[in-house]
Structure 1
């Protein structure tokens, strides 16, 4: 089939590479300009550079809603648009232009985790698996019929970085598998159960700020979800920002006030956690490695030279 590709960052790059390695003909590529947003500088393989290396025309847009782009797409005469990690709304006259519509590749197991940063949100929420979905685009974001979907398990020690690599590896088989079904003439695909749909916003500084009222199990997943190269989860100690690079759920149960620097356990320093920590029924978060404001990384047992005091939400 003749394809126009909309995409950005590594997700779009892998999608374009899969198309280039397939039997399909890529006529035009539409991508975003480079961004200074913290999360958009991560996994930033260039879609434009890959297209240019293969002599494919490239169009740079923040939004695909101008007449010049619409005319270019009509001239390209695509059988289908394939999109992955396109960051703004695609209007109906664009996604409905090709003969087979638009196939969107999304890095979650839709209908759950539509929207942004699905892997990180899924890890924080303790999901047992993540994956990639190819669906036909309609007027509701990430809500169209599912053509192809594959899942991978979330292992107990996985980080968001691990899950990124696992899910990126699914892009090619999901995208090319979906195109094969469409090219073969299939038109009936799986409706999404909208009662199960969830939709998440972009992550920001506030989302990585540790809330000691959360249970230790959730905080431990937050730390793994903010693994390098993502910005690390952070708190404040004695008025200074302290990033938590590694932590585990404590073996013991510790009572008191959330945020209290309480006890040494193995290689960690346990922080009291959970809104109901006063009951003494909660595990704490045993921090094992930190990074200070000056960029120094060290074991938590070396950083916390004495116990007592609190980790706080403000300087």
Structure 2
């Protein structure tokens, strides 16, 4: 069975490598174009391209699959099946319907929950206790195709988007490798999704990164870990942005008498900050503007700028 693999970020790499380790025939890889990266804007190939080149696999990098010639370039590889995992572009119907075994996607949620581009972030932000991966047929509507297999993965209280990403990538690899032989032997049937149970996880936009201290402490805690390691939750202090990388939930009796966002105390391991509903969080890792990420304890030893009684986002009425 000839496979065209379509993927882009780190999430996709273990899945591609698993297919190769099991000696499936990958006739081509389709990924996103190289992008400028870092402060120096060095043009950098996506992780999947780097992995494919190690194995000598032909790589296509179309800016868009809306152009007929780009679709034809994929079809010219004569795939029996297309496998996608975090590719980053929608596939046209002409590509979905062409392979004999159709197009199959590895999606990082338990569909129909969390369709869309940021299911890992959203599951952590929402405080979910479990997520998972789904192998499903692709169709025109995003993440709505018939389900071939699913596997649950627990989300712990200390998981971040980064740690859950790694868990789900490994789970997706293993589940796909279990599913592929049954797909090739036509010994598998798909289960339609119940669209009424669908929820959505759109890509993270800039406005969602900012902490709203008028939310309860547990909501802020989940937002911070759901934005770690990318794109990073942030707040402001005296008009300057500060990224918040880690927090800890806490109970502080004085929080109920204090405006949300107020710095209640500077403790040895962090910055105690009031939230809504009489709750608080302790900021334990942060990144001031123009500096590297650091433990809050290290920051407090080297800076005396933060003062109890003042407010994060105070210059913006805490929104």
**How far apart, CA to CA, are the structure 1 residues paired with 2:37 and 2:96?**
26
1:301 is displaced (CA, Å) by 5.1
Structure 1, unmatched stretches of 5+, are: none
| Partner SS for 1:83 | strand
User: 1:9-65: CA deviations, max 9, x gaps?
Assistant: 222322221221124211122111123489xx9xx8522233233332221112223
Residues 13 and 45 of structure 1 are in contact (CA less than 8 Å); yes or no, is this contact kept in structure 2?
Answer: no
| Partner SS for 1:224 | helix
Partner of 1:258: 260
Partner of 1:293: 289
Partner of 1:161: 162
Change (3 A) 1:314 1:144: farther
Partner of 2:209: 208
**How far apart, CA to CA, are the structure 1 residues paired with 2:242 and 2:142?**
37
**How far apart, CA to CA, are the structure 2 residues paired with 1:133 and 1:313?**
43
1:220 is displaced (CA, Å) by 0.8
Change (3 A) 1:109 1:166: same
User: 1:168-224: CA deviations, max 9, x gaps?
Assistant: 111221222222221121352222121221122211332211111111101111222
1:272 aligns with 2:274: yes
**How far apart, CA to CA, are the structure 2 residues paired with 1:144 and 1:285?**
41
| Partner SS for 1:222 | helix
Change (3 A) 1:312 1:18: same
TM-score (norm 1): 0.88
1:3 is displaced (CA, Å) by 1.0
Aligned-CA RMSD value:
2.5
Change (3 A) 1:37 1:192: farther
1:189 aligns with 2:185: no
Structure 2, unmatched stretches of 5+, are: none
**How far apart, CA to CA, are the structure 1 residues paired with 2:73 and 2:170?**
31
1:264 is displaced (CA, Å) by 5.0
| Partner SS for 1:71 | helix
Partner of 2:219: 218
**How far apart, CA to CA, are the structure 2 residues paired with 1:271 and 1:70?**
53
Residues 217 and 281 of structure 2 are in contact (CA less than 8 Å); yes or no, is this contact kept in structure 1?
Answer: yes
TM-score (norm 2): 0.87
**How far apart, CA to CA, are the structure 2 residues paired with 1:196 and 1:313?**
40
Partner of 2:242: 242
Change (3 A) 1:313 1:80: farther
1:231 aligns with 2:231: yes
1:135 is displaced (CA, Å) by 0.4
**Worse-matched range after superposition: 134-143 or 65-74:** 65-74
Change (3 A) 1:184 1:154: same
Change (3 A) 1:306 1:31: closer
Change (3 A) 1:314 1:111: farther
| Partner SS for 1:169 | helix
**How far apart, CA to CA, are the structure 1 residues paired with 2:14 and 2:188?**
26
| Partner SS for 2:219 | helix
1:89 is displaced (CA, Å) by 1.4
